[in-house]
């Protein structure tokens, strides 16, 4: 697949609905999944048309790995966790995006995956805003 470097990056409407903006890093737009059950970041490479990891060129793939690591560190700063889960699925939303999720042995989906595990439980607005502020400070 050849990405068109002139095409404008636009966030998928479903990702936009399910998540809130945290920050723009060098490659990715970083967003928080609006699901209070799991501290969960979504990294969306700002490359129009990217669907699979290897739609990114080699420099961007290296950058993505770096930003995944940064997201892991950021999540550890705001949440106790027993494990981090990282995944690029894209079966529902095709726009390339990477999930980085802090998991605990007492979370409702453990040890299964978070994807497809029942409906999201939205944050209360004040809690969400505080978490986003913490993520911005730590990230």
Minimum distance of a copy of itself from residue 21's CB (angstroms): 24
Residue 47 neighbours by CB under 8 Å, 6+ apart: 3, 9, 27, 55, 56, 60, 96
Q: What element of type H or E holds 131?
A: helix 125-138
Residue 14 or 130 having the CB closest to a copy of itself: 14
Minimum distance of a copy of itself from residue 88's CB (angstroms): 5
Paired tokens of 119: 């409906």
Residue 23 or 86 having the CB closest to a copy of itself: 86
User: Quick check: helix, strand or coil at residue 75?
Assistant: helix
Q: List residues binding a copy of itself (CB under 8 A).
A: 51-54, 58, 61-62, 64-66, 68-69, 72-73, 83-92, 94, 103, 110-113, 115-116
Minimum distance of a copy of itself from residue 65's CB (angstroms): 5
Q: What is d(CA 55, CA 1) in angstroms, rounded to the nearest whole number?
A: 6
């Amino acid at each position: 697949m050849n990405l068109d470097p002139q095409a404008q990056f636009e966030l998928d409407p479903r990702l936009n609905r399910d998540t809130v903006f945290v920050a723009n890093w060098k490659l990715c737009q970083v967003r928080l999944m609006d699901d209070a059950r799991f501290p969960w970041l979504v990294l969306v490479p700002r490359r129009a048309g990217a669907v699979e990891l290897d739609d990114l060129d080699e420099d961007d793939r290296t950058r993505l790995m770096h930003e995944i690591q940064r997201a892991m560190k950021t999540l550890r700063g705001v949440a106790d966790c027993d494990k981090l889960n990282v995944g690029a699925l894209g079966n529902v939303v095709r726009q390339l995006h990477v999930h980085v999720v802090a998991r605990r042995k007492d979370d409702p989906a453990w040890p299964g995956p978070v994807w497809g595990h029942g409906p999201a439980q939205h944050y209360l607005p004040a809690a969400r805003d505080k978490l986003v502020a913490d993520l911005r400070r730590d990230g």
